[in-house]
Amino acid sequence: MLAEKREEPNMKEFNRRDFLCALGVSGGLAASGCMESISRAAAGPAKPILGSWFEFQHHSIKEGVPWNPACAAFTCEQWDAKIRELSELGMQYLVLLCTALYFKAFFRTNIFPPFRIACEDPIEAILTAADKYGIKFFIGGGFYGKWDSPDILKDPVAGKKRLQAFEELTKLYSAHKSFYGWYWPNEAFINPYYSEEFVQYVNTCSRLARSLTPGAKILIAPYGTRVARPDDNYVRQLEKLDVDIIAYQDEVGVRKSKADETPAFYEGLNKAHQRVPRAAIWADVEIFEFQGKVYESSLLPASFQRVQRQLEAVSPFVDTVLVYQYQGMMNKPGSAAFAGPPDSTRLYSDYAEWLRIPPC
């Protein structure tokens, strides 16, 4: 069983100044020997990035061309190095997107054959590293069918395998202190409300997860943020959804929204969440851009100028900012676990400079 979780700080007023002070006391930078070099930057209007989605292989082969081959070749030691790298940049939460993909598994199970990558047990590798570096992981509950199938939520075979996987993942990994919660990756399109099918999927998954891992947090990250209608009906749906955190996609990377539009969307959703305080409101900020056609080309790092506007836009209305995603879009210069295009060091360095974290 998962150990009882510590009380989380109130993130609503957690700005850059607070973030740097917290890191100076106990954050990931202390682990790298950088503690004395942190500058006490003045608080800015944007919250810092406190977490990212994480993966062993990107689900879309076209999008993941710049980093999938490198990740497939990572040793267990390189996964440790990548987790450390993330902690050095102040990351506190990582969301493992999937524990199975293309009918292959990233853990020991008879549900699917193993995914052939260099590290034999990558989930064990990342959770062991996260234990060392103070990272909290949400473990993904997919994909136990065809990830892009519109019928995956109705597929009884996929549903049975999914629940079986939760039990096996709990037995294998829940003793890790970094096993913080669960993430349900079959994303909802809020149009302008959640479908009843999605509500049932979430609540079925959450019911079993809460019985297996009492105290674990449950996260979802829907899209359709720009068309969501946060009215009384939406509030009633929030009350029905058995989740602890909703991280809404800002949809800037997929070219559905622009940074100057998103404050209106998040302000409305924030008001709905104030009426249902059980469900925290977080942001899922897209720090990528497409090389060509949306969904049909490689993902590349956005400029930090754009990312900063995105952070400033959502920060007044959310408790915590996550990004999609560090892998492929950001790499520390000289990283021992480099995954992504060469210019991904630019976004890392620009963000680190904004945080006023000098190189170690």
pTM for this model (two decimals): 0.88
**Domain coverage including residue 263:** 16-355
Asked whether residue 360 is domain-assigned, the answer is no
Residue-wise pLDDT for 232-245, tens only, equals: 999 999 999 999 99
Residue-wise pLDDT for 283-307, tens only, equals: 999 999 999 999 999 999 999 999 9
Could you write out the DSSP letters of every residue in 161-190?
HHHHHHHHHHHHHTTSTTEEEEE--S--B-
Rounded to whole angstroms, the Cα distance separating 5 from 17 reads: 26
| Bridge partners for 94 per DSSP | 52, 137
Residue 6 has pLDDT above 50, yes or no: no
Rounded to whole angstroms, the Cα distance separating 174 from 212 reads: 9
Residue-wise pLDDT for 34-48, tens only, equals: 433 322 233 358 999
Asked whether residue 64 is domain-assigned, the answer is yes
Asked whether residue 302 is domain-assigned, the answer is yes
Question: The domain spanning residue 284 has which CATH number?
Answer: 3.20.20.80
Rounded to whole angstroms, the Cα distance separating 139 from 184 reads: 9
Asked whether residue 9 is domain-assigned, the answer is no
Could you tell me the two tokens for 291?
Answer: 């090389």
Predicted pLDDT of residue 191? 95
Predicted pLDDT of residue 152? 84
> Do strands 320-324 and 288-290 pair parallel, antiparallel, or not at all (unpaired)?
unpaired
Number of H helices, E strands in the chain: 11, 12
Residue 67 has pLDDT above 90, yes or no: yes
Predicted pLDDT of residue 26? 37
Of 316, 317, 338, 321, the C-alpha closest to 329 is: 338
Residue-wise pLDDT for 105-114, tens only, equals: 999 999 999 9
Predicted pLDDT of residue 295? 94
Predicted pLDDT of residue 150? 78
> What mean pLDDT is predicted for residues 75-84?
98
Asked whether residue 1 is domain-assigned, the answer is no
C-beta separation of 96 from 130 below 8 A: no
DSSP E strands, the chain = 49-54, 93-96, 100-101, 104-105, 136-140, 179-183, 217-220, 245-249, 280-286, 288-290, 299-301, 320-324
Rounded to whole angstroms, the Cα distance separating 54 from 329 reads: 11
Tell me the pLDDT band of 23, cut-offs 50, 70 and 90: low
Exposure string for 190-199, b = 16+ CB within 10 A, e = fewer: beebbeeebb
Asked whether residue 10 is domain-assigned, the answer is no
C-beta separation of 285 from 324 below 8 A: yes
Of 247, 243, 199, 248, the C-alpha closest to 226 is: 248
Residue-wise pLDDT for 143-201, tens only, equals: 998 888 878 888 999 999 999 999 999 999 999 999 999 999 998 899 999 999 999 99
Counting the structural domains of the chain, the total is 1
Rounded to whole angstroms, the Cα distance separating 356 from 359 reads: 10
Residues in the chain: 360
Residue-wise pLDDT for 301-341, tens only, equals: 999 999 999 999 999 999 999 999 999 999 999 999 999 99
Residue 59's CB is within 10 A of a number of other CB atoms, namely 17
Give the three-class secondary structure for 173. Answer: helix
Asked whether residue 211 is domain-assigned, the answer is yes
Tell me the pLDDT band of 1, cut-offs 50, 70 and 90: very low
Asked whether residue 5 is domain-assigned, the answer is no
Tell me the pLDDT band of 357, cut-offs 50, 70 and 90: low
Residue 10 has pLDDT above 80, yes or no: no
> What mean pLDDT is predicted for residues 8-29?
48
Could you tell me the two tokens for 277?
Answer: 């305080």
